[in-house]
Amino acid sequence: MQNYRKTSHSVYDIKYHVVCVTRYRKPALNKDVGRRLRELIRQVCESMDIKIIKGHVSRDHVHIMMSVPPYISVSEMMKRIKGRTSRKLLDEYKGMKKAFWGQHLWARGYFAATTGNVTDEVIMKYIEEQSKLERDKNEDFKVNDE
């Protein structure tokens, strides 16, 4: 249980790999902007009790692997990260305002995938082995009749 995190009513290990891309894939995240972006992402994550496990800022996109509490949705998390970083960076770096007119630093969507310590196959096998019933190959959601 060393990787598990706790809230007052839950124990969890929920991790996401997320990617944000700049609008039009413009390579605007240079050294100074990249460092400031990293600082802003850390602030947002800290305010939401999100733990950053690993991250990387490239010239036109950002990868982050993070541990997220169960009460925060991916869409809410990404809205806060992209919204705050876009607003702050466009205010602080006047040259970026011309490149990203319309107050949009980030492309519309994002990539998000869950990570874990076990594969889908291991979880399906575990669920399958919970039942001592006669196996029906067409049944993929079983009920144990005790």
State the burial class of residue 64 (Cβ atoms within 10 Å of its Cβ: 0-12, 13-18, 19+): buried
Domain ranges within the chain, ordered by starting residue: 5-116
pLDDT digit string (tens) for the chain, length 146 residues: 467 899 999 999 999 999 999 999 999 999 899 999 999 999 999 999 999 999 999 999 999 999 999 999 999 999 999 999 999 999 999 889 888 888 899 999 999 999 877 676 776 776 666 544 445 544 554 445 44
- What is the number of helices (H) and of strands (E) in the chain? 4, 6
Residue 115 is predicted with a pLDDT of: 84
Please tell me the predicted confidence (pLDDT) of residue 99.
85
Predicted local confidence at residue 134, as pLDDT: 42
For residue 61, list its beta bridge partners. 21
CATH H-level superfamily of 5-116: Transposase IS200-like (3.30.70.1290)
**Which residue do the tokens 């039942």 mark?**
131
